[in-house]
A and B are shown apart, each in its own frame.
Chain A
């Protein structure tokens, strides 16, 4: 096995440039966004460091090519793999993609009472779970975008007045700054007074989507919802879970749906797996809800609630989430069927902590419900 050594055989500048480009390319293949501008930045940085020092070289590249903690982990893996000439295990970097992936796979979980809805195997060993779901097949390209729905939902959820103010002709408070500006053409005579009203604080939505096997039939709706939320509300976070949890916020940022779906399929290898709601809630509590203002955060869980996991854990984590958010909205697609009753133990345990329980299974049904929603307090 050969190793790269910029001091010896590959001492020439073109060799360094070639290795650097190869590393950039490998990082790009591993899912990092390496634009030409970033590559240029890397080369500028090389002039500031001692490239014969491996650690310094690695750090300098990482500083420019990674832009999150997770990307730092991916980059280090790619770099070490390239440096040591060892082929990177396909998908290894994917496991590092989320800080949330902490535990090992929970084997043996199965869903209760909904076998008819599960098209995949009911065994959740690592081998069974670690597979790619072809999300392109589950995406409905003809479905209208959900911008209207998401905006409406956001409007209903945003109720908290901000300290900041905005223009409002009937507001009680006079905006001196604008009034003075307006008075300039009238010889600084304050004729038209500008008034302001309090702004309503933006809501930060944390969308927690169940992508276990029992939710497969609702995948087109789920994907639409995830895309819609991420495109419309930039400060939202989207997390998917089955037996593991992945934050796919960054992945959903792309404009090309096909590419985004390919990346999500590649990253979320537990799609259509089992369900562990307690673990998902624990990860969200620790890694997402611990940050930011609880008063402006709304947690939206999209799940059928089928889980034979830790019921006490679900209660404990929902209680904690309740304190860390302004409200919890649970969208249960199964609730849309006429024969539905809350039988799933997890769903029963969760009910006391939920502010809004919505029986939505597609965009139209959710739109109707949202329009009828009273503003959450």
Chain B
């Protein structure tokens, strides 16, 4: 029997979704809006892949802000296991309790039953998401899933299908309301097909120049419109060059803020050269930038 509560989400009408995102500082295109709507309608997780800094994690944060709910984040890494992701017993506290109980001559069965209770339980992100009460679901962000081991991915598969967790000593916990699950991946490895099949897949690409202008204007409202246009144009040009790590949206925003703090009105080759480290993160890329014709990169005529 389905014991899960039904949640009436705010993403019912497609035309309203971009505005809803914009009101919370996120510029969503049609693909993101539709993915969000379908994910909420069908209760399916979203798998976002894309280069670093294109706004994958930010989408989860924005969804949490829109729903005014808790964002539960699980940062994946190699070797991540269920004790770090799901739950763990507080062993130090348990040993202390055992010693105290022994000194008070408690029975063994009493000790056993008292130390495996919720007082001694560390709840980790996945269990927190399952135990989150309704009616608004939490947003569960499983960040950089590609960094976790395949064994963990297999475990996640089971969790995502049922949203229930069994702790042998305590029983089974079932989510009252299904969490909104966002998985992100930077493609350091291919994910399991079974996991992908359970998700709605979306490749998040670098934004268009116009969208990037909007993003900068949204996040750095103090900046001049002409300067915003210059920034997005130059970053767009830089992305067409085969750098080792192309600048993402996060770098554009950092650059906009840097230029604002330097009180720069217009960008010239000297400014670009001096602040290259904000946009490019590899020595080879910066050297390559230095060798380029800065004037054509800035491309004044088209600004």
B196 contacts across to A, CB distance below 8 A: 67
| Option from B112, B149, B244 in Cβ contact (under 8 Å) with A285 | B244
Asked if A187 meets B108 with Cβ closer than 8 Å, knowing A163-B79, A286-B244, the reply is yes
**A291 B188 Cβ-Cβ under 8 A:** yes
Give the shortest distance, in Å, between B238 (CB) and chain A (any CB).
15
The reply on A50 being an interface residue by CB < 8 A is yes
Q: How many residues of B contact A (CB 8 A)?
A: 45
Give the contacts of B24-66 with A (CB-CB under 8 A): 30-31, 34-35, 37-38, 41-42, 44, 47, 49
B91 contacts across to A, CB distance below 8 A: 176-177, 180
The reply on A45 being an interface residue by CB < 8 A is yes
Binds A, one of B67-75, B92-100, B123-131: B92-100
Give the contacts of A161-181 with B (CB-CB under 8 A): 162-164, 176-177, 180
Q: How far is the CA of A37 from the CA of B49 in the complex (A)?
A: 22
Q: How far is the CA of A4 from the CA of B181 in the complex (A)?
A: 35
Give the shortest distance, in Å, between B286 (CB) and chain A (any CB).
14
Residue ID in chain B nearest A250 by CB atoms:
B190
Asked if A296 meets B38 with Cβ closer than 8 Å, knowing A67-B197, A69-B203, A176-B91, the reply is no
Asked if A63 meets B34 with Cβ closer than 8 Å, knowing A35-B197, A177-B91, A320-B284, the reply is yes
**B201 A37 Cβ-Cβ under 8 A:** no
**B186 A291 Cβ-Cβ under 8 A:** yes
**A59 B95 Cβ-Cβ under 8 A:** no
**B202 A63 Cβ-Cβ under 8 A:** yes
Give the shortest distance, in Å, between B241 (CB) and chain A (any CB).
12
Give the shortest distance, in Å, between B93 (CB) and chain A (any CB).
11
| Option from B34, B78, B150 in Cβ contact (under 8 Å) with A56 | B34
**B34 A59 Cβ-Cβ under 8 A:** yes
**Interface hub of A37, A292, A320 (most chain B Cβ within 10 A):** A292
B14 contacts across to A, CB distance below 8 A: 49-50, 56
Q: How far is the CA of A224 from the CA of B201 in the complex (A)?
A: 32
Binds B, one of A132-140, A197-205, A260-268: A197-205
Map CB proximity to B onto A19-61 as digits: 1 under 8 Å, 0 otherwise.
Answer: 0000000000000010101100100110111100001100110
Q: How far is the CA of A292 from the CA of B146 in the complex (A)?
A: 9
A69 contacts across to B, CB distance below 8 A: 49, 203
| Option from B49, B193, B202, B242 in Cβ contact (under 8 Å) with A253 | B193
B244 contacts across to A, CB distance below 8 A: 285-286, 290, 320
Which B residues lie at the A interface, using CB under 8 A?
14, 30-31, 34-35, 37-38, 41-42, 44, 47, 49, 78-79, 81, 83, 88-89, 91-92, 94-95, 98, 102, 108, 111-112, 149-150, 186-190, 193, 196-197, 200-203, 242, 244-245, 284
Q: List 17 A-B contacts (CB under 8 A).
A: A41-B44, A59-B30, A63-B201, A67-B47, A68-B190, A72-B201, A163-B79, A177-B88, A177-B91, A180-B95, A188-B98, A199-B79, A201-B78, A202-B149, A291-B188, A292-B189, A296-B78
